[in-house]
Structure 1
């Protein structure tokens, strides 16, 4: 019997998801101007003519339409998606490939539609070609952007790695199907604060050292500037609309979670020193990019908590009044996600704690 997360989900009271278009509908993607005019997204996307391309997890597209059905134009052989109508998930698309996926049988009227990329596929480029209305309907102007913006920077714990799993033991396929960035602690926190958000997280990478010392020629900072992660030298062009009032940095688990192996260019002391130096430089990069008004929240946990706290204290002492330290409290977490990662329950608990902490910060929303 297939696992629940592998099924295409159908909301029986709201809509019926169909593999093909309704009679008389066109599956042709909308033109470039229509895509831009009808979709709201806060993610790092790259305009490629008649499609928007992207790589990071949790990228979402929001639209409005009138009618009884909507088509979702995608070209993605690697990632999974949720489609939400009027706030309810009506379909989960598993590696949809090149398709227009239709949601039909809706009550005739004005609806909202949201498409969200569930998992991380840094080796692949995803393409979204917009929303297409069923015959007799129309795609309306895009929803307004939210005034609040939060950027989450991290690794697999921020991605939502295997958070829907019911077992810590996962195959590669199970990991892909049970990762859902849309219910990660970052996405939940942002929605609770009514903020647009980016989840710029990359599983397995650290600030200076990756998990178990792997791929030492790169680290998280090698990819941070990109929109398309598998394109060397790519640089995301901020359209000028991304000005986060808060940036949350949660990096360090991969740097320190495994012992230094023979042959690695580190001792415990030199790794700690390199981590603190790189962390300080990365915070300065964020400060230069987003300006003095943005609050930077540095997350500390486990063996790297003290290093993060030291970097924050040094920056605060040097006059940066909008960098803060948050000691992640993992009390009560079950780590039942794949390979001892946060479960969906853990993500909810962390979102509660992080939301409460952020609410007390003097952020200039």
Structure 2
């Protein structure tokens, strides 16, 4: 069915909130050239030596420390983060700025720590300066990378836009605070499959047409290759460790969820044709990048489901045996997130359904 998905620009706040057993302090950053070596991440980051820079939602960093406290070195005026220690969320950092944020009072011993970027802030660049141990402690060797990798390509529905909201009516501030990519269907599915993942999702962008025809000079494909979304021409350099065996593409809501406006260069028919052509080309780009062993899963929903299915059928007929179609089942979804987006409950249901579907595919993990 066609759903009245809406989207508005998200305004960042200049405040910071800490929840749980956390305190704020300043401390020296780790030695230069140590950040990338001391943490595990699968996200699209640019190594600046003493910091890692990034833009996409859901980017996470994992480390190990010994001692009674851990500091998180950040420089980010726009995004929100969750801090997890030994699997439990102990702090939420709201637009943390440039500082080291401490979680103290831990049992003296070895702990795993995870920092995850909650929301999409494509207008800003985030910077992470590593984990530091409290006095008397030490930063230990980073956790081992997972053997499975999944890349998720999408828009606000994949980013977890407003998924923690108690109301569909949200201000920009409320959208920012209630968006959490870490409880999106993408992150949930990856964790259930014990996979590292990227959530390369950009709210409001479509395959060829953005929400309500906005910013017609660009679309999702304009930004896909970037690590830093607000840097024109930026290109993420794969360090050679990112080799996903599954790529999930969920794009089309913004192309078709709003009527064409006067002055847009489309008819309904030409938009559909352009969408199918661009979608096929994007799948070919992924196939060229990741090779014949990677499964490409194209997601169809609402008014664009038939177009996605047609693209998959054409590629399958041309000999691509590892492209598959998944018709998103929206049964019992309540769409009570901000502006008719998936709620946290919806994301859990979709993760259940997607995980089940993937279990029947012959993915070469």
Confirm or deny that 1:9 pairs with 2:19.
Answer: yes
Give secondary structure in 2 for the equivalent of 1:166. Answer: coil
In structure 1, C-alpha distance between the alignment counterparts of 2:223 and 2:31, rounded to whole Å: 30
**Residue in 1 aligned with 2:106?**
106
In structure 2, C-alpha distance between the alignment counterparts of 1:161 and 1:51, rounded to whole Å: 27
**Residue in 1 aligned with 2:318?**
318
In structure 2, C-alpha distance between the alignment counterparts of 1:276 and 1:282, rounded to whole Å: 10
In structure 2, C-alpha distance between the alignment counterparts of 1:147 and 1:112, rounded to whole Å: 19
Root mean square deviation, CA, Å: 0.8
In structure 2, C-alpha distance between the alignment counterparts of 1:111 and 1:133, rounded to whole Å: 10
Aligned length: 350
**Residue in 2 aligned with 1:185?**
185
Instruction: Rate the CA distance shift 1:95–1:7 in 2: closer, same or farther, 3 A.
Output: closer
In structure 2, C-alpha distance between the alignment counterparts of 1:151 and 1:36, rounded to whole Å: 21
**Residue in 1 aligned with 2:227?**
227
**Residue in 1 aligned with 2:158?**
158
In structure 2, C-alpha distance between the alignment counterparts of 1:304 and 1:341, rounded to whole Å: 17
In structure 1, C-alpha distance between the alignment counterparts of 2:245 and 2:234, rounded to whole Å: 25
Question: Within 5 A, what are the aligned runs for 1:71-82?
Answer: 71-82=71-82
**Residue in 2 aligned with 1:39?**
39
**Residue in 1 aligned with 2:25?**
20
In structure 2, C-alpha distance between the alignment counterparts of 1:34 and 1:220, rounded to whole Å: 33
Q: Is the 8 A contact 2:45 2:52 kept in 1?
A: yes
**Residue in 1 aligned with 2:145?**
145
In structure 2, C-alpha distance between the alignment counterparts of 1:33 and 1:275, rounded to whole Å: 43
Give secondary structure in 1 for the equivalent of 2:240. Answer: coil
In structure 2, C-alpha distance between the alignment counterparts of 1:33 and 1:62, rounded to whole Å: 17
In structure 1, C-alpha distance between the alignment counterparts of 2:326 and 2:31, rounded to whole Å: 45
**Residue in 2 aligned with 1:307?**
307
Which runs of at least 4 in structure 1 moved beyond 3 Å after TM superposition?
Answer: none
Question: Within 5 A, what are the aligned runs for 1:1-365?
Answer: 8-10=18-20, 16-20=21-25, 27-365=27-365
Q: How far off is 1:31 after superposition? A: 2.2
Can you list the C-alpha shifts for 1:35-57, whole angstroms capped at 9, x where unaligned? 12210000000011210000000
In structure 2, C-alpha distance between the alignment counterparts of 1:282 and 1:31, rounded to whole Å: 40
In structure 2, C-alpha distance between the alignment counterparts of 1:38 and 1:302, rounded to whole Å: 44
Structure 1, unmatched stretches of 5+, are 1-5, 11-15, 22-26
In structure 1, C-alpha distance between the alignment counterparts of 2:100 and 2:28, rounded to whole Å: 8
Q: Is the 8 A contact 2:73 2:130 kept in 1?
A: yes
**Residue in 2 aligned with 1:13?**
none
Q: How far off is 1:276 after superposition? A: 0.2
Structure 2, unmatched stretches of 5+, are 1-15
